[in-house]
């Protein structure tokens, strides 16, 4: 990708008459990425903020390339020191926070952004990617906890800016995943004066250097992005990696090669939680592309191809096994299902064995998914296609397990706890037809093993907030790769990450020791073998029930050119063109 090193006012080549209409299935919870790990927040923020590194649009498997950095970091000191030179002439979007002055991106903006993640007042759920890593940063965080105020002006030995465009990061020990951290959406540069200007409202006033800026924000309803006039633009010049996508890439490159990007000047996103409603919107040409709802897959697909009534409309199709996982976790802090005793583990195991994942795949997902055997999905380093988890759907064994550990059935057929108290579990849910279908599968299985269940319905954003505070007993969650390495999934179970991704609040000395060992091990067979041990440990503790990894079928209207869903990048608007239609 060729990116100019200089920018002039209004240099963004985007055409305001070229509009993308899209929808997402759940709301964000603000656009200050320091304070959220909400997937949908990340989708929107990705085109507003820019990271030092990013990913090649077409390369498969995913390949890191410079973002705002001039080149890949210079790594020295046995893998502990990273020197990054930032491109000159990159400017933040115009904003009142800058008082009418063009504001150039500097190395100091990244140093400030990194510090925000360890500021105790921000309680960042993504702090775990930086905490304990940068020399001197932990001392600054500790001092802030003591004084109640984080000193952003205090020098940090491992986070230096020797000149305006150079960032030098020194780690406490080598981190073999640190390049991925530099490409993580949340670590896109923020300007200190913009954060100070908006204060508590920073989450609805994001100010970045990316190709788009926020124009309209209606919480849990609609978001509109428009081209950032200060964005420098780039020339579309990506190469295919060949393989299964070779034919698809050939036409895509023909459509896009050499164009000045971005072309799209406006992006309108509606939050439409019901699958059927989104499907009707796509059929009515109100959406330009969308994931095919699993509920209508049999009406649209013949196996892996579109049916003639859709190909006759020149609708495009791109299918991808996503590097993601759905799973149900048990809150280890919960008085009913939490704890490390054998009887509590038996209860979690029986609940997990009562859920029929294959029924979910066939009835809800219409076979557009595969059963996930381990915490690391297909397409992510550390995945083992031959791995099989140690427990699955088994009503007979679940009943025997509960009987053995004293969960007795009453006259009504439902069980009590070993001390004779009524047993009731609570599963968090969302108000959608699909979630109701999940609840029905859970209810069928739980009835068969004599456990009462209450489904507590709330919206996704509120459930996520409660989860980070360890307040949900049981919840079905999903995680799509932030970077294509197993650590990104295993960190969801690391004890110190409780409240920062570990929403099951799982704590295991054995698992944590393996996690630390894996992080200190270079990528390769030895690290992958540790990942297998970690999977067995979390299974022994019944920390989660792994469920499925989905195959996404993207449907694209013929006027959209350049579309290819990336396995790591969440949005692709700046890589697309829209023809008149």
What pLDDT, in 10s, does the model give residues 23-77? 999 899 999 999 998 899 999 999 999 999 999 999 999 999 999 999 999 999 9
| pLDDT of the residue at 129 | 84
What is the per-residue DSSP string for 88-108? SS-BPPP-GGGTT---B--HH
Confidence of residue 461 (pLDDT cuts 50, 70, 90): confident
Give the E-state strand segments of 314-359 in sequence order. 316-321, 324-330
CA–CA distance, 252 with 387 (Å, rounded to integer) = 36
CA–CA distance, 442 with 455 (Å, rounded to integer) = 10
pLDDT at position 452 over 90: yes
* Segment among 16-20, 241-245, 510-514 with least mean pLDDT: 241-245
What is the per-residue DSSP string for 553-566? EEEE-TTEES----
pLDDT at position 4 over 70: no
| pLDDT of the residue at 382 | 96
Mean local confidence (pLDDT), 119-137: 92
Mean local confidence (pLDDT), 308-321: 96
What are 290's two structure tokens? 């969308």
pLDDT at position 1 over 90: no
**Residue 310 CB contacts under 8 Å (≥ 6 apart), including other chains:** 300, 555
pLDDT at position 8 over 90: no
| pLDDT of the residue at 128 | 83
| pLDDT of the residue at 559 | 98
Mean local confidence (pLDDT), 546-553: 95
Residues in the chain: 581
Give the E-state strand segments of 148-306 in sequence order. 159-163, 166-170, 212-218, 222-227, 234-235, 260-261, 264-271, 289-291, 301-302, 305-306
Mean local confidence (pLDDT), 114-140: 93
Mean local confidence (pLDDT), 536-557: 97
| pLDDT of the residue at 6 | 36
Mean local confidence (pLDDT), 506-510: 97
């Amino acid at each position: 990708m060729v990116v100019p090193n200089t920018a002039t006012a209004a240099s963004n080549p985007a055409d305001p008459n070229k509009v993308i209409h899209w929808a997402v299935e759940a709301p964000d919870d603000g656009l200050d990425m320091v304070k959220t790990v909400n997937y949908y927040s990340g989708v929107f923020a990705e085109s507003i903020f820019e990271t030092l590194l990013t990913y090649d649009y077409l390369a498969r498997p995913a390949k890191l390339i410079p973002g705002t950095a001039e080149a890949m970091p210079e790594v020295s000191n046995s893998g502990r020191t990273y020197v990054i030179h930032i491109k000159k002439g990159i400017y933040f979007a115009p904003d009142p926070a800058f008082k009418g002055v063009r504001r150039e991106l500097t190395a100091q903006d990244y140093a400030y952004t990194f510090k925000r993640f360890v500021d105790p007042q921000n309680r960042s759920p993504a702090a775990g990617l930086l905490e304990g890593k940068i020399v001197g940063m932990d001392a600054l965080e500790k001092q802030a906890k003591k004084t109640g105020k984080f000193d952003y002006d205090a020098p940090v030995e491992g986070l230096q800016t020797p000149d305006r465009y150079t960032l030098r990061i020194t780690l406490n020990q080598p981190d073999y995943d640190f390049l991925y951290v530099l490409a993580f959406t949340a670590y896109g540069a923020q300007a200190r004066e913009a954060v100070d200007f908006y204060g508590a409202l920073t989450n609805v006033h994001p100010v970045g250097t990316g190709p788009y800026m926020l124009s309209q924000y209606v919480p849990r309803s609609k978001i509109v992005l428009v081209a950032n006039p200060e964005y420098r633009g780039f020339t579309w010049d990506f190469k295919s990696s060949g393989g299964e996508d070779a034919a698809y890439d050939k036409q895509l490159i023909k459509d896009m090669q050499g164009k000045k990007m971005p072309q799209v000047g406006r992006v309108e996103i509606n939050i439409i939680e019901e699958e059927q409603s989104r499907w009707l919107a796509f059929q009515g040409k109100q959406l330009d592309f969308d994931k095919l709802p699993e509920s209508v897959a049999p009406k649209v697909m013949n196996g892996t191809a579109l049916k003639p009534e859709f190909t006759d409309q020149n609708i495009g199709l791109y299918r991808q096994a996503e590097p993601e996982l759905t799973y149900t976790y048990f809150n280890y802090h919960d008085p009913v299902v939490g704890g490390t005793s054998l009887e509590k583990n038996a209860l979690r195991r029986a609940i997990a064995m009562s859920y029929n994942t294959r029924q979910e795949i066939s009835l809800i997902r219409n076979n557009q998914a595969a059963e996930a055997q381990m915490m690391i999905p297909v397409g992510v380093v550390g995945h083992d296609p031959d791995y099989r988890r140690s427990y699955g759907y088994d009503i007979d064994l679940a009943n025997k397990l509960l009987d053995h550990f004293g969960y007795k059935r009453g006259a009504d057929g439902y069980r009590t706890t070993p001390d004779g108290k009524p047993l009731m579990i609570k599963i968090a849910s969302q108000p959608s037809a699909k979630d109701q279908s999940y609840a029905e599968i859970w209810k069928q299985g739980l009835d068969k093993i004599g456990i009462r269940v209450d489904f507590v319905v709330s919206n996704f954003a509120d459930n996520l907030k409660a989860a980070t505070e360890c307040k949900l007993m049981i919840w079905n969650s999903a995680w799509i790769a932030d970077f294509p390495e197993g650590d990104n999934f295993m960190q969801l179970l690391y004890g110190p990450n409780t409240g920062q991704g570990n929403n099951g609040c799982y704590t295991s000395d054995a698992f944590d020791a393996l996690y630390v060992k894996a992080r200190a091990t270079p990528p390769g067979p030895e690290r992958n073998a540790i990942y297998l041990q970690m999977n067995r440990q979390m299974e022994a503790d019944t920390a989660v029930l792994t469920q499925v990894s989905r195959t996404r079928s993207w449907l694209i209207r013929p006027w959209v050119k350049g579309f290819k869903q990336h396995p790591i990048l969440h949005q692709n608007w700046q890589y697309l063109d829209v023809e008149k239609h």
